A and B are shown apart, each in its own frame.
Chain A
């Protein structure tokens, strides 16, 4: 077992699948010769050749459209969109073609396309390199949406995505590429090499879709979160001394409703945390489900911690980012006497 960061774990997943399955093809801007802007595909073109690891033009609509065509003809494309902020030119292809192909053809055709894309802020990326648009995709029927928060899950979920016969949008919280991040930008960065989830098995393994991870068991309150906010939430709960059960959703669609609701029924209190904006965000969907399933067990109104409903700012990044203070405020609110 090797200690890896998330980039290395993603690279290992693609390396494993390129080696196992001759129909797997990688494609995207600067992923081949250059190895990707975040180095996720480094060395793979050299190892598997230009016909397996393709450099594409800067045309996201074209990348996704080509991937759909290739998938219908028997390949398993893994398309990289360099930043989730750039995925919108391909949005029509994703919504109108990719998501509906199996339905539209009554199952005659299907599209095993994986779209990898780095998301989230905390890296001084401003409004064009920091967005968290996962909620836009969870709203589209016909695609699966996942977001790992650590190297182990990243490799296992990416292999599951590539092997899945239906389209998957695979979000990579880029602030977590190099280490877990507790939301305090002034602390020295912590590398994955010191974290248990930085241990990544060699070879093939999968992390299933539709299965959330209980990061920390607890009894006082359930925190439902994913991506960058997993570690922020854990640090906020620890700082307050609240015995929080922290659940990393990992897979947004399909969603592990059982694990979420079992926990909320146990604790009676729920905080939902994500980096994306609040209004019509994915947190609203979770909140609705928890309310429907756990209403008679709720001790207090469910709280949401999210980014503000503004574009991701160029300045004031740490005022925008939902850090420990905001999670702490929600925890205190939900713990108030009831």
Chain B
């Protein structure tokens, strides 16, 4: 038997530490090589760390919410001759008991879990109390996705299912009272995605002087183009093939065109060097609401994508972010961000810049409004754009000019598709 100490691996350039999100293995577990050990969170992405070896876990370092430095011990394994071949061990874990009683009761615990490991994959993990709660609420545990360590089903998961809500952010109540009185408080430890969101929001608001600019855009023509494309798609494609086109890919296409003329808005500020880095390529972050909270997957090289490819890429990334499958690469590298709340878009908003970017474009709700057109009142579809700019690097004049240019594209959508040299 020998011990193997698995240290926190380098999870990407510049990562110095990672936060434990949840463990998929515990002391005493037998694990196979490549089996997921732990889910950790770097500054951007949730990463599942696979086991480098097969063996029995002796110890794990850090609890959910703890930050472990790259290179610090993460898991201690027992490997080698006596290390578990799970299948061989399962029927009778009687290998060691003769020496167990006097010195190592922990080994007997491992023995017990080891023999259960064969069926563990199929078994739902939940405490007895939560099994009772689920039974009383008529909820099948197998239908729930546990948010606890190792996918364990928590009380909050059952309550969420009982209330028909999506599963909330994994939270660790320090001392949850069993029967919540009306005035009871709930303490939620800010860890994982939520902690990253909190830190980044604070940092952005603290360091960036936000310049907000709201303009209304007549999207009547954009709407008729969108509707036309959707109808044509429905006529041509097999039923239920592709979801309907939204404004978002159209706006991003227009934005990519605008940024050709406003490179100061497609830039990242490197505060350590005091350098503003302008990017020719447009990598657009898409602010996406997920069960864990806000995430920003990135459409890379949006300027080079055709409309259908862009629309599909936006959908793919949003799905991956919502199901927590987005890779770190899919969540980093944006040069500008677009945020759209869809039907919840409201009239105006004040988006927070996704630092180190210098601009964020917000889409508000598109709705029909009476407007004065050529001396008469007409019904037009109006959508506001609410945007924020880093006023250190983007002057108000340029910000306004950039939004006006975007407005012009959106109000005359054909121009989006006309190459620059040919546009008026």
Known: A298-B127, A298-B128. A337 touches B177 (CB 8 A): no
Closest B residue to A306 by beta carbon equals B105
Q: Are A242 and B175 in contact (CB under 8 A)?
A: yes
Which DSSP category, helix, strand, loop or mixed, fits chain B's interface?
Answer: loop
> Is A299 an interface residue, CB under 8 A from the partner?
yes
From A268, A296, A299, A336, B172 is in contact (CB under 8 Å) with A336
Q: Which of B95-149 contact A (CB under 8 A)?
A: 101-105, 127-132, 148-149
A contact residues around B226 at 8 Å (CB): none
Closest residue of chain A to B133 (Cβ to Cβ) is: A296
In the complex, whether A300 has a CB less than 8 A from a CB of chain B is yes
Contact of A279 among B102, B129, B149 (CB under 8 A): B102
Residue from A280, A295, A296, A335 within 8 A of B101 (CB atoms): A280
Complex CA distance for A297 and B135, rounded to whole angstroms: 13
- In this complex, what residue of A is CB-closest to B154? A337
Q: Complex: how many Å from CA A298 to CA B131?
A: 10
The reply to whether A337 and B104 contact each other, CB–CB distance below 8 Å, is no
**CB <8 Å contact, A338 and B154:** yes
Residues of B within 8 A of A297 (CB): 128-129, 132
Q: Which secondary structure characterizes the binding site on chain A? A: loop
**Chain A residue contacts of B154, Cβ below 8 A:** 337-338
Q: Is B152 on the interface with A (CB-CB < 8 A)? A: yes
One digit per residue, 1 when the CB lies within 8 angstroms of any chain B CB and 0 when it does not, for chain A 251-288 equals 00000000000000011100000000011100000000
Measured between beta carbons, the chain B residues less than 8 angstroms from A298 are 127-129
Are A338 and B155 touching (Cβ within 8 A)? yes
The answer to whether B175 and A337 have CB atoms under 8 Å apart is no
Which chain A residues lie closer than 8 Å to B104 at the CB level?
A: 309
The yes or no answer to B285 lying at the interface (CB within 8 A) is no
Q: State in angstroms the CA–CA spacing of A337 and B149 once bound together.
A: 8
Q: Are A337 and B132 closer than 8 Å at their CB atoms? A: no
Q: Is the CB of B132 within 8 A of A296?
A: yes
Query: How many residues from B make CB contacts under 8 Å with A?
Result: 28
B178 interface neighbour in A266, A278, A280, A295, Cβ under 8 Å: A266
Nearest opposing residue in chain A for B22, CB measure: A337
| Shortest CB distance A125–B (Å) | 22
Q: Which residues of A contact B176 (CB under 8 A)?
A: 220
Which residues of chain A are within 8 angstroms of B177 by Cβ–Cβ distance?
219-220
A220–B129 touching, CB < 8 Å: no
Confirm or deny: A164 has a beta carbon within 8 angstroms of a beta carbon on chain B: no
Contact residues in B for A267 (Cβ distance below 8 Å): 178
A278 and B103 alpha carbons, distance in the complex (Å): 10
Please determine whether A299 and B102 come into contact, CB atoms closer than 8 angstroms: no
Interface membership of B192, Cβ < 8 A: no
Give A297 to B127 CA distance when docked, in angstroms: 9
Q: Are B132 and A299 in contact (CB under 8 A)?
A: no
Contacts of B64 in A (CB 8 A): 337
Quick check: is A15 within 8 A (CB to CB) of the other chain? no
B127 touches A338 (CB 8 A): yes
Known A278-B105, A279-B105; contact A296-B175, beta-carbon cutoff 8 A: no
Within the complex, what minimum Cβ distance (angstroms) separates B200 from chain A?
25
The distance from the CB of B242 to the nearest CB of chain A, in whole angstroms, is: 40
- The answer to whether A335 and B175 touch across the interface, beta carbons within 8 angstroms, is yes
Question: For A297, A310, A338, which residue has the most chain B Cβ atoms within 10 angstroms?
Answer: A338
Whether A299 contacts B105 by the Cβ 8 Å rule is: no
Q: Which positions 295-338 of chain A face chain B at CB distance < 8 Å?
A: 295-300, 309-310, 335-338
User: Which residues of chain B (34-81) have a CB below 8 Å from chain A?
Assistant: 63-64
Complex formed: what's the CA distance from A296 to B176 in Å?
Answer: 17
Confirm or deny: A50 has a beta carbon within 8 angstroms of a beta carbon on chain B: no
Closest A residue to B155 using CB positions: A338
A193 CB, nearest partner CB in chain B, Å: 34
Bound complex: CA of A295 vs CA of B156, how far in Å? 20
Cα of A278 to Cα of B100 in the assembled complex, Å = 12
Number of A-B contacts (CB under 8 A): 60
Give CA–CA (A149, B176) in the complex, Å: 30
Interface presence of B173 (CB below 8 A) = yes
Contacting pair A296 B128 (CB below 8 A): yes
A199 at the interface (CB under 8 A from B): no
- Is B174 interfacial (CB 8 A cutoff)? yes
Q: A266-B178, A279-B105 are in contact. Are A296 and B129 (CB under 8 A)?
A: yes
Measured in the bound complex, the distance between the Cα atoms of B227 and A150 in whole Å is 83
Is B249 interfacial (CB 8 A cutoff)? no
B245 within 8 A of partner (CB)? no
Given A338-B130, A338-B148, answer yes or no on A309-B170 (Cβ-Cβ < 8 Å).
no
Q: How far is the CA of A280 from the CA of B108 in the complex (A)?
A: 12
CA distance A300 to B173 in the complex (A): 13
- For the complex formed, measure the closest distance between the CB of A25 and the CB atoms of chain B, giving whole angstroms: 40
- Across the interface, name the chain B residue whose C-beta is closest to A333: B63
B305 neighbours in A (Cβ, 8 Å): none
Least Cβ–Cβ distance between A312 and chain B, in angstroms: 14
Q: Is the CB of A335 within 8 A of B174?
A: yes
* Contact partners of B148 in chain A: CB under 8 A: 337-338
> Which residue in chain B gives the minimum CB-CB distance to A266?
B178
Complex contact B175–A299 (CB within 8 A): no
Residues of B within 8 A of A309 (CB): 101-105
Q: Chain B contacts of A219 at CB under 8 A?
A: 175, 177-178
Asked if B171 is at the interface of the complex by the 8 Å CB criterion, the answer is yes
A294 to chain B, nearest CB (A): 8
Question: With an 8 A cutoff between CB atoms, is A16 at the interface?
Answer: no
**A243 interface residue (CB < 8 Å to B):** yes
The answer to whether A338 touches B102 (Cβ under 8 A) is: no
A145-180 near B? 1/0 per residue, CB < 8 Å: 000000000000000000000000000000000000
Q: Tell me the bound Cα distance from A266 to B177 in angstroms.
A: 10
Are B131 and A299 in touch, CB under 8 angstroms? no
Q: Are A337 and B171 in contact (CB under 8 A)?
A: yes
Contacting pair B173 A268 (CB below 8 A): no
Partner of B152, one of A278, A295, A296, A338: A338
**A279 contacts which chain B residues (CB < 8 A)?**
101-102, 105
What is the bound-complex CA distance between A296 and B126, given in angstroms? 11
Compute how far the CA of A298 lies from the CA of B129 in the bound complex, rounded to whole angstroms.
Answer: 5
CB of A299 within 8 A of CB of B130, answer yes
Report the minimum CB–CB distance from A234 to chain B (whole Å).
16
Q: How far is the CA of A325 from the CA of B17 in the complex (A)?
A: 27
Least Cβ–Cβ distance between B116 and chain A, in angstroms: 14
New contact pairs (10) apart from A279-B101, A280-B101, A338-B154, CB-CB < 8 Å: A219-B177, A279-B102, A299-B129, A299-B155, A309-B105, A336-B63, A336-B172, A337-B148, A338-B130, A338-B152
A-B contact pairs, 10 of them (CB 8 A): A219-B175, A242-B175, A295-B128, A296-B129, A299-B129, A309-B104, A309-B105, A336-B63, A336-B149, A338-B154
| Residues in chain B within 8 A of chain A (CB atoms) | 63-64, 101-105, 127-132, 148-149, 152, 154-156, 170-178
Closest 9 CB pairs of A and B: A220-B175, A296-B132, A337-B172, A338-B127, A298-B128, A299-B129, A279-B105, A295-B128, A299-B127
